[in-house]
Structure 1
Amino acid sequence: MSVSQSLANLEQAVQLLHNGQLELCTKLVEQAKTAQPELLTSSRDSSGRGLLHWACVKGAERIVELALTTGSPETVDSTDDQDWTPLMLAASAGHLAVARRLLGAGANPDASNATGQRALHYAASKNRPEFARLLLDAGADAGPRDATSGVTPLHRSCAQGHTAVTSLLLSRGAPVNVSDSVGNTPLHFACEEGRLEDARLLIEAGANVSHINKEEKTAFDLAPSPADKRQLELFAQNVNQ
């Protein structure tokens, strides 16, 4: 396809994005803004995603700009069939500049998808502290629980050992002793995975080391080795001195 041609439908534009033909796709979308505005606003694929959603997945900043300025103000928080917003997709894919543009256009940093997860959950699980900071600066709740297991972004970062995100969340008031649906706190997650630095941060932030989950296990009981458990106990002793 050349620039002299036009886009026939949304699927064609998305295919160009998937093929890495970002420059060509952008030029064709610019041409379509006047002649085919529905391509940028109302067209949806079988998953309920429009061009804005896919542009956020691929980090196509100019196409994001075109979609936002062509559609209504509500476009920025449009959802696919699983209630993913453009901001969630940008967070999952790691496109910080796109997220800034979305937030500047009024995107809701606390929107949740069908599983109750928010953009901050994805920033935490994928070790994106700058993304998490952007969301928090935009007013995102630091400790939302998802709808399926009650897990917060802090649970996610601690399980993965994403210490920079853990530190940031704690500094922004993320609840340290919140439990998931089976009674596990972020400290349980950190200890079970051997994330000792994250565990130390949690303990220093006031994590309850005596809390038991529904299996009547403390976080320290889940430590992967006796050595790790001893180290965790030393952390707790030092904090309490």
Structure 2
Amino acid sequence: MNSKKKHQGNDPAVELACQIAKRRAALQRRDDLADHLINACRTGSLPLVRTLVAARADPNSSRVLGTPLGEAISSRASVVLIEFLLGVGANPNLLDQNGYSPLFLAADIDYSAATLLLLSQGAEANAQHPENGWTPLMAAAASGSVFSLIELLGHGAITELRSFDGLTALDLAKANKQLTCARALLIHKKLVKLR
């Protein structure tokens, strides 16, 4: 036993191998915690999310599975769970690995309570998707998410921004036959001109 300790203490290669093994284990644990947190957010389990965050799961992890905040929103988890994630430092502008922000996801599915919460916590209303240039307003207009569209307009979303294909939110609403969203955008445009 003494020869083992002596050997480990004197051999830099063995010490380095031990350090590398410990780092790998720590990185694997971090990745596992992130995956578990994302899955817990997807299922909407606030107690499990709290437990994982207490175990040092990163609320800003971005994995193939998504981000904790993005998955909570996509699965329409409770606003309480979303507030908790934001309260422990989840970034409302963190893109998932497909380039979608939490606000984009909320606007696309008309989760207006999440849209409002994200906007109040600093989510960028005019952030454009890195591949197509769509904004949360464009997503709301194209999918007929009128309540989220109204929240976005109320928080300064710019109606004249264009996607990389040159389309505005109004163009997308019309192309997708989302007449209520198209009307809301036209009314907003008229109101802005009156100011």
Q: How does 1:176-215 map to 2 (within 5 A)?
A: 176-180=125-129, 181-215=131-165
TM-aligned CA distance change 1:225 to 1:164, over 3 Å:
closer
Structure 1 stretches of 4+ with a deviation exceeding 4 A read: 72-76
Q: Tell me, yes or no, if structure 1 residue 126 matches structure 2 residue 79.
A: no
Q: Separation in 2 of the partners of 1:213 and 1:118?
A: 24
Letter in 2 for 1:144: L
Q: Determine if contact 1:120/1:132 at 8 Å carries over to the other structure.
A: yes
Q: Tell me, yes or no, if structure 1 residue 93 matches structure 2 residue 46.
A: no
- Structure 2 unmatched ranges of 5 or more: 1-24
- Structure 1 unmatched ranges of 5 or more: 1-71
Q: Tell me, yes or no, if structure 1 residue 77 matches structure 2 residue 30.
A: yes
TM-score (norm 1): 0.63
TM-aligned CA distance change 1:221 to 1:185, over 3 Å:
same
1:36 aligned residue:
none
TM-aligned CA distance change 1:104 to 1:236, over 3 Å:
farther
2:101 aligned residue:
152
Q: Separation in 1 of the partners of 2:29 and 2:49?
A: 11
Q: Separation in 2 of the partners of 1:114 and 1:225?
A: 32
TM-score (norm 2): 0.77
Q: What percent of counterpart residues are identical?
A: 28
1:139 aligned residue:
89
TM-aligned CA distance change 1:227 to 1:205, over 3 Å:
closer
Which protein has the bigger helix share?
2
2:14 aligned residue:
none
Q: Separation in 2 of the partners of 1:193 and 1:204?
A: 19
Q: Determine if contact 1:176/1:206 at 8 Å carries over to the other structure.
A: yes
Cα drift, residue 76 of structure 1: 6.3
Cα drift, residue 173 of structure 1: 0.3
SS at match of 1:237: helix
Letter in 2 for 1:175: E
Find the partner of 1:228 among 170, 181, 184.
181
Cα drift, residue 208 of structure 1: 1.1
1:29 aligned residue:
none
Q: Determine if contact 1:76/1:86 at 8 Å carries over to the other structure.
A: no
Cα drift, residue 102 of structure 1: 1.3
Instruction: Output the aligned Cα RMSD.
Output: 2.2
Q: Determine if contact 1:177/1:186 at 8 Å carries over to the other structure.
A: yes
TM-aligned CA distance change 1:135 to 1:125, over 3 Å:
same
Q: Separation in 1 of the partners of 2:76 and 2:118?
A: 12
* Higher RCO structure (Cα 8 Å, ≥6 apart): 2
Q: How many residues align?
A: 165
Cα drift, residue 73 of structure 1: 8.1
Cα drift, residue 108 of structure 1: 0.9
1:54 aligned residue:
none
Larger radius of gyration: 2
Residues 77-100 of structure 1: CA deviation (Å, up to 9, x unaligned): 3429xxx52111100111111111
SS at match of 2:62: coil
1:18 aligned residue:
none
Letter in 2 for 1:235: H
